[in-house]
A and B are shown apart, each in its own frame.
Chain A
Amino acid sequence: MEKFTKLTAVAAPLPIVNCDTDKIIPARFLKTLTRTGLGKNLFDPLRYDPETGEENPDFVLNKPAYRNAEILVAGHNFGCGSSREHAPWALADFGIRCVISTDFADIFFNNSSKNGILLIKVSPEELEMLMESADRGANSTMTVDLENQEITNSDGEKITFDVDPFKKHCLLNGLDDIGLTLQKESSIESYEEKQKASEPWLYA
């Protein structure tokens, strides 16, 4: 997994509430067998006209100032709906490394950190401030510093944020969960021995 330490990049405002994963990447793009290549269809229903397939010039990521955005400032309950990890894959493939909102759906939250994307929860007032900063086009650069848990906007205003210590550790070091878990293999084995004795039918 790619490490996340400190990021200075353009932040794009996306004030949609309850933005679901069908909107982030619709089902018809889920026939892929790899984790890459989904960036061109990120936010497909918003980014392109459903009938002609042409770019919708009003959509934020189609505007020249935001084409290289790496941070999204998004509305409440971002990433709800389907569990598809294609959503963070599409975000990552487009180049988004950090999403800031007042709340995220649980499954999306887990999926993102496993793909090196940092999700930051802020208060409604903080979101409003960051949304305003993000609205300033190419001047909307922000710095996200995971080590110090701090966001700085282009005016130098700072916000601190909370992060799960374990997720922080994994993101900072780019650690693979499975490798970490396998260090506990003996605990898994003894759990299985015990369960086999008390619920043998689960091992039939």
Chain B
Amino acid sequence: MVSKPKTLFDKIWESHLVDEQDDGTCLIYIDRQLIHEITSAQAFDGLRQTGRKARRPAANLCVPDHNVPTTPGRGGVDEIEDDESRIQLEVLEKNAKEFGLPFFSINDERQGIVHVIGPEQGFTQPGVTLVCGDSHTATHGAFGALAFGVGTSEVEHVLATQTLIQRPAKNMRITVNGSLPTGCSGKDLVLAIIGKIGTAGGTGHVIEYAGSAIEELSMEGRMTVCNMTIEGGARAGLVAPDEKTFEYLKGRPQCPKGAQWEMAVEKWSQLPSDPGAQYDTEVELDVSEIVPQVTWGTSPEDEIGITGEVPNPADVEDENRRSAMERSLEYMDLKPGTKMTEIAVDKVFIGSCTNSRIEDMRAAAEVAKGRRVADSVYAMVVPGSGLVKLQAEEEGLDKIFTEAGFHWREPGCSMCLAMNGDMLQPGERSASTSNRNFEGRQGPGGRTHLVSPMMAAAAAIAGHLTDVRDLMK
């Protein structure tokens, strides 16, 4: 009998089923877990209170990232002045040691944002299930891993049992046709997708990204796209593994070697969706004509091409949408009809798990090279990991940035969520390569415009949002 064609998601899901109840509730096996300081303390406490152990310590990797200082030449944890922050980092280290889990300290060159170091270390691999107490875990789907964010109770559940109680998601395929034009990157592509499907468009689904524009993206670009899947409401995004995937992973510290590598590649090559596989929802778009994207509101779906204007809520029929837009514009202090390129920014942030990998650093540096940050702007570049930082320094990118007036920082989440003191002041406006423009995300009263690394560098130089293509002529 010929079996029913399966999607990439179906294959990973089925191969990880441990148990299925009559009511459809499933117990699935979790191969990998990344752990950081913000969503784990209460999970370890739970284990202690119940006298439970970590079932497979080596299946985890702990690293501080959300709340670490990014000041150049930062010292050890003991030098952090803010008591709460210092204690939070100390507690992570103590918990990792107590439960025997691998741990990178802030002085380890392998430290960085969970979603940057997972792939970097080869901890992320095709076909695995990977979770982290962080919604941007979808990033790892770029490798064909089923990766999704979980809450702290689930972190504890995975530590204790190496499984999660789940229900299968629905399959959605987004086919991205065409080729990205100059001046546009994976970031522009994913913003365009979210603009199309909306922030709840993917709820209940796992999204598989396919099509020529996705195939053409580098692994870094694919990670940027999968990273923002949650902004489209889906918990996990996937790209079928291919030669690029294998090439990126080969030789990474935690990847199989020798004969096992060959075995693994053969297995991974079976993962792509079968021809004729069925999806519950299909979306298609062509990106050959898009222009660099930028957000104007307080939801990632509030995006528009840089050549556009702030939209007018009065033109919108849906009442819910209209009132949400009005509220956004009031918060952002923007008037309908304003040209996007006329919006001045106070701060520029290049970093976050969306855009802090070496390719992002290179793209921003190319725009910054030989230019100056506007006097009115404070601009910072925060590499995603110690290894990205070292690589960038080897290539001389740090010099390009500092000579242009950008601040070159130590790795961490930084102004993406503004926990560590890197933040906007009330009323300040940023161009940011991060993933969320929610009210107060980068500091209470702060206003965020999401853009690509190239567009962020261009905004820093111009002092306002601007079309990077004008600088590329």
Contact = CB atoms under 8 A, between A and B. Distances in A.
Contacts of A165: 23
Contacts of A31: 67, 84-85, 88, 419
Contacts of B135: 81-83, 107
A181 interface: yes
Contacts of B445: 50-51
A80 B300 CA distance: 11
Contacts of A32: 84
A107 B235 contact: yes
Nearest to A114: B153
B204 to A, nearest CB: 7
A88 B152 CA distance: 11
Contacts of B41: 33
Interface stretch (B24-32, B334-342, B367-375): B24-32
Interface residue tally on A, bucketed by range: 35 or more
Contact of A30 (B38, B148, B163, B167): B38
A195 to B, nearest CB: 7
Contact of A106 (B87, B137, B156, B204): B204
Interface residue tally on B, bucketed by range: 35 or more
A164 B167 CA distance: 10
Contacts of B50: 178
Contact of B233 (A16, A28, A50, A80): A80
A11 B267 CA distance: 53
B133 A83 contact: yes
B160 A182 contact: yes
Chain B CB within 10 Å, residue with most, of A82, A111, A114, A182: A82
A160 interface: no
A83 B149 contact: yes
Contacts of B396: none
B165 interface: yes
A81 B52 CA distance: 31
Contacts of A201: 255-256, 260, 263-264
Interface stretch (A58-66, A92-100, A148-156, A184-192): A184-192
Interface in B261-280: 263-264, 267
Contacts of B156: 178
Contacts of A75: 320
Given A27-B419, A34-B42, A83-B134, A178 B157 contact: yes
Given A106-B204, A181-B161, A202-B31, A45 B151 contact: no
A115 B204 CA distance: 21
Interface in A1-36: 16-18, 20, 22-23, 26-28, 30-35
A33 B42 contact: yes
A165 B27 CA distance: 15
A77 B300 CA distance: 14
Contacts of B27: 181, 184, 187-188
Given A106-B204, A201-B256, A85 B160 contact: no
B299 A18 contact: yes
B179 interface: no
Interface string B36-66: 0011011001100010100100000000001
Contacts of B256: 201, 204
B88 A33 contact: yes
B18 A187 contact: yes
Given A75-B320, A165-B23, A166-B25, A181 B38 contact: no
Interface in B86-107: 87-88, 91
Contacts of A195: 29
Contacts of B125: 202
Nearest to A50: B444
Contact of A17 (B23, B234, B267, B320): B320
Contacts of B18: 184, 187-188, 191
B239 to A, nearest CB: 20
B139 to A, nearest CB: 13
A185 B160 CA distance: 11
Interface in A51-110: 51, 75-77, 80-85, 88, 103, 105-107, 110
B109 interface: no
Contacts of A125: none
A103 B201 CA distance: 11
A84 B203 contact: no
Contacts of B23: 164-166
Nearest to B22: A165
A81 B230 CA distance: 7
Interface of B: 18-19, 21, 23, 25, 27, 29, 31, 38-39, 41-42, 45-46, 50, 52, 55, 66-67, 84-85, 87-88, 91, 125, 128, 133-135, 137, 148-154, 156-157, 160-163, 165, 167, 199-200, 203-204, 230, 233-235, 254-256, 260, 263-264, 267, 299, 320-321, 323-324, 327, 417-419, 426, 436, 438-441, 444-445
Given A81-B436, A84-B151, 6 more contacts: A23-B438, A50-B440, A77-B233, A111-B151, A111-B154, A178-B52
10 contacts: A18-B199, A22-B440, A27-B66, A30-B38, A50-B445, A51-B426, A77-B199, A83-B135, A114-B151, A181-B161
Instruction: Rank and list the top 4 A-B pairs by shortest CB-CB distance, nearest first.
Output: A201-B256, A111-B151, A85-B151, A50-B444
